[in-house]
Amino acid sequence: MPADRLSRTAPAPKTGIVHLGLGAFFRAHGAIYTEEAVAHSGGDWGIIGVSLQSPTMHDALTPQGGTYTALELAPEGAKPRHVQIVTEVLVAQDNPLAVLEKMADPAIRIVSLTVTEKGYCHAPATGALNLAHPDIQHDLGNPLPRSAPGFLVRALELRRQRGLAPFTVLSCDNLPENGRVVRGVVLALAQQIDPALADWIAQQGRFPATMVDRIVPATKPEDLATVATLTGTHDAAPVLHEPFRQWVIEDDFVSGARPDWASAGAQMVRDVTPFEHMKLRMLNGTHSALAYLGYLAGHETIADTVADPVFAGFVRRLWQDEIIPALTPPPGVSLADYATALFGRYANPAIRHRTWQIAMDGSQKLPQRILGTLAEAQATGRACPGLMLAVAAWMRYVGGIDETGAPIDVRDPLADRLRALSDGADTPEGKVQALLSVSEIFPPALAVPLEAPLTSAYLALLDKGARAATHEVFA
Ligand code: CS2
C-alpha cells in the first residue's frame, strides 16, 4: 500500500521571517534552529520560504502545508523529525510582487538568505556588486526584480515608502564576512536606483554576519523511499543531514528583534570573523580540495575519498601544515581538535555527499576557501604544495575531461569561459596561465606568484594522475 502523504499536525505559526533560497541546507539548519528557539522561548517567527526560480520546492511542500522530514544520519543510525516552522512557499519568478509584499509586511522583521555564493551577483575576488550581471541589469530598470539583491532593495524601498523600519538581512551563505558582502551589494544597487534609499538603508539597516555549518547533501530520488520506509509517510521533499550543527551569529538586529536562537544552541557573538575563517578554510577549503582531487581519482563521495588512505593522509597534512598555520583560532577553540572532528564528519558513511556536488561553482568558492590561505602563505614565504595541487585539480576539472577521457559535467556560472580558456591554450603551461588570468577569481597580485607552483602541480596531475600526485605531494 502506498504511504500516506506527510501533512501538518501543528497549527501554522505566525510568521516573522522571509527566507530567500529555500534549499536543503536552510531547511536542515536555520529552519530547525528557529523551530527549536520558538518551542523554547516563543515568538512569532514562522518562516515564509521563497524559491527564486524553481517551482520544485513549492510544488513539493505546498500539499504538505510547508512541513517536511529532516533525517539525521549518524553512523549508528537514522533519526527522523517532522519540521513545521515553514508556513508557505512562494516562487519569486512566478509572482515577484507577492514576494515583495510579504517582505514589506510589518510582521516580517528578518529576511534571511541561502542563495549560494553566486546569488549575490558579486565579484568573488573583491566582493563588489557586478553591475554587468544580467540579473542586476534587469533589476536596475525594472521594479519587479530577479536577483536576491534586487528583491532586498525593492522590498526595503517599499518599507521606506510605507514608513516602516527595515528588516534585518541575515546572510547564511558560505562567504567571508557575509554580512558585509550582502550589505555592500544592497547599498551598491540601491545607490543606482535612488541614493536617498541607499542612505536610509545604510543608516537604519542591519546586516549581521553569520557562520553556518552542517553537512547536508542534496536529496536524491532514492532518499524519498528511505524516508517513507522509516516514517511510514510519503514526503516529497525530505532533507538528510549529519548530526553536527553550528551557527554563530553577530548579534546586531534591527530593534534587537530576533528569535532566541541561543536557546537552540546558536552562539550569539560580537565578531564572527574568526569562526568564519576557521570554517571556510578548514571545512570548505578541504571539502573543495577533496572534491576536485577525489573526483579526478574516481571517488564518488567525500566519505569514499577519505576512506582512501592517500586522501586521508593528504587532508590531515593540509590542515596541519598549510591551513592552521595561517589561522587565528576563535576564543577557546583548539584548531587541532576542530580538524579531528572534521575528519570524523567527513568519514560518516551514512552521508553520501558527492564530490561532484561540492565541485560545483568553484569559481565562486575558491577565493574564500583556498586562495585566502595561499595569499597569506605567499606573504610569509611558506610553500603550500597541497593546496596548490587542489587548485591545479580545479583547473583540470574545469577543462571538462576526466582522467579516463570522459566528459565532466561542469556546473559553474563561468563554465563556458573557463572551458574556452583551457581549450584555447595548446600547452599545460598555457592552460594554467589562461585560467590564472580570470581576475574575478585570481587577483593579479596573487596570479603572478602562483604561476610557477601551479604549473608544476598541474603537470604532476597530467603526468601521474590525481591519486598518485596526491600520494606524492607531501612525500
Ligand atoms: C560544501 C558545503 O557544497 C559545498 O561546497 O563544501 O555545502 C558544506 O557541506 C557546508 O558548508 C557545511 O557546513
Domain boundary among 269, 287, 310: 269
Cα separation values, 423 from 364, 399, 407, 446, Å: 21, 7, 13, 23
- 221 and 284 in a single domain? The answer is no
**What phi and psi values does residue 49 have, to the nearest 5 degrees?**
-90, 140
CA of 214, closest atom in ligand 1: 13
- In the reported structure, the alpha carbon of residue 356 is separated from the centroid of ligand 1 by a whole-number distance in angstroms of 12
Determine the pLDDT at residue 140: 97
- In the reported structure, the alpha carbon of residue 369 is separated from the centroid of ligand 1 by a whole-number distance in angstroms of 11
- In the reported structure, the alpha carbon of residue 244 is separated from the centroid of ligand 1 by a whole-number distance in angstroms of 13
- 90 and 175 in a single domain? The answer is yes
Determine the pLDDT at residue 126: 87
- In the reported structure, the alpha carbon of residue 12 is separated from the centroid of ligand 1 by a whole-number distance in angstroms of 30
Determine the pLDDT at residue 414: 97
- Nine-digit cell string for 354: 558527492
- In the reported structure, the alpha carbon of residue 215 is separated from the centroid of ligand 1 by a whole-number distance in angstroms of 6
CA of 361, closest atom in ligand 1: 5
CA of 25, closest atom in ligand 1: 7
Domain boundary among 211, 236, 269: 269
Domain boundary among 247, 269, 291: 269
- 37 and 145 in a single domain? The answer is yes
pLDDT digits (tens, 9 = 90+) for 152-189: 999 999 999 999 999 999 999 999 999 999 999 999 99
- In the reported structure, the alpha carbon of residue 191 is separated from the centroid of ligand 1 by a whole-number distance in angstroms of 33
- To the nearest whole percent, how much of the chain has pLDDT over 70? 100
Indicate the top mutation candidate among 211, 212, 215 to test ligand 1's pocket, ranked by most ligand atoms within 8 A of CB.
Answer: 215
How many independent structural domains does the chain possess?
Answer: 2
Over 90: is that where the pLDDT of 275 sits?
Answer: yes
- In the reported structure, the alpha carbon of residue 342 is separated from the centroid of ligand 1 by a whole-number distance in angstroms of 12
- In the reported structure, the alpha carbon of residue 18 is separated from the centroid of ligand 1 by a whole-number distance in angstroms of 23
Return the residue whose CA atom lies nearest to atom 10 of ligand 1.
215
- 278 and 142 in a single domain? The answer is no
- 261 and 343 in a single domain? The answer is no
- In the reported structure, the alpha carbon of residue 186 is separated from the centroid of ligand 1 by a whole-number distance in angstroms of 25
As a whole number, mean pLDDT of residues 299-323 equals 98
| Cβ count within 10 A of residue 439 | 13
As a whole number, mean pLDDT of residues 102-112 equals 98
Cα(101)–Cα(443) distance, rounded to whole angstroms?
A: 40
Indicate the top mutation candidate among 25, 211, 246 to test ligand 1's pocket, ranked by most ligand atoms within 8 A of CB.
Answer: 25
pLDDT digits (tens, 9 = 90+) for 408-429: 999 999 999 999 999 999 999 9
- 278 and 179 in a single domain? The answer is no
Instruction: Please give the sequence-ordered ranges of beta strands (E in DSSP) within 84-144, or none if there are none.
Output: 86-91, 110-113
CA of 365, closest atom in ligand 1: 5
- Identify the CA nearest to 272 among candidates 202, 341, 205, 176: 176
As a whole number, mean pLDDT of residues 382-409 equals 98
The set of protein residues with a Cβ atom below 6 angstroms from ligand 1 is: 174, 213-215, 283-284, 287, 357-358
Return the residue whose CA atom lies nearest to atom 13 of ligand 1.
213
Over 90: is that where the pLDDT of 249 sits?
Answer: yes
- If 0-12 CB within 10 Å is exposed, 13-18 middle and 19+ buried, where does residue 1 land? exposed
Return the residue whose CA atom lies nearest to atom 5 of ligand 1.
358
- To the nearest whole percent, how much of the chain has pLDDT over 90? 98
Determine the pLDDT at residue 2: 62
Determine the pLDDT at residue 91: 98
Indicate the top mutation candidate among 118, 172, 174, 306 to test ligand 1's pocket, ranked by most ligand atoms within 8 A of CB.
Answer: 174
The CATH code of the domain that includes 381 is 1.10.1040.10
- Round the average pLDDT of the chain to a whole number and report it: 97
- In the reported structure, the alpha carbon of residue 214 is separated from the centroid of ligand 1 by a whole-number distance in angstroms of 8
Determine the pLDDT at residue 335: 98
pLDDT digits (tens, 9 = 90+) for 340-351: 999 999 999 999
pLDDT digits (tens, 9 = 90+) for 137-158: 999 999 999 999 999 999 999 9
- In the reported structure, the alpha carbon of residue 23 is separated from the centroid of ligand 1 by a whole-number distance in angstroms of 13
Return the residue whose CA atom lies nearest to atom 4 of ligand 1.
358
- 62 and 114 in a single domain? The answer is yes
- In the reported structure, the alpha carbon of residue 75 is separated from the centroid of ligand 1 by a whole-number distance in angstroms of 19
CA of 29, closest atom in ligand 1: 13
- 238 and 335 in a single domain? The answer is no
Over 70: is that where the pLDDT of 123 sits?
Answer: yes
- Nine-digit cell string for 229: 520506509
Phi-psi bin for 116: left (phi > 0), alpha (psi -120 to 50), beta? left
- 226 and 350 in a single domain? The answer is no
- 285 and 235 in a single domain? The answer is no
Dihedral angle, C-alpha 180, 185, 190, 192, nearest 10 °:
130
Query: What pairs with residue 454 in β-bridges?
Result: none
Cα(350)–Cα(279) distance, rounded to whole angstroms?
A: 22
- 249 and 355 in a single domain? The answer is no
Over 90: is that where the pLDDT of 475 sits?
Answer: no
Cα(307)–Cα(311) distance, rounded to whole angstroms?
A: 8
Return the residue whose CA atom lies nearest to atom 3 of ligand 1.
358
Q: Which residues neighbour 1 within 8 Å (Cβ) at sequence distance 6 or greater?
A: none
Q: Domain containing 15: what range? A: 4-269
pLDDT digits (tens, 9 = 90+) for 86-100: 999 999 999 999 999
Determine the pLDDT at residue 470: 98
The CATH code of the domain that includes 224 is 3.40.50.720
CA of 284, closest atom in ligand 1: 6
Over 90: is that where the pLDDT of 260 sits?
Answer: yes
- 262 and 181 in a single domain? The answer is yes
Over 90: is that where the pLDDT of 1 sits?
Answer: no
Query: What pairs with residue 112 in β-bridges?
Result: 19, 170
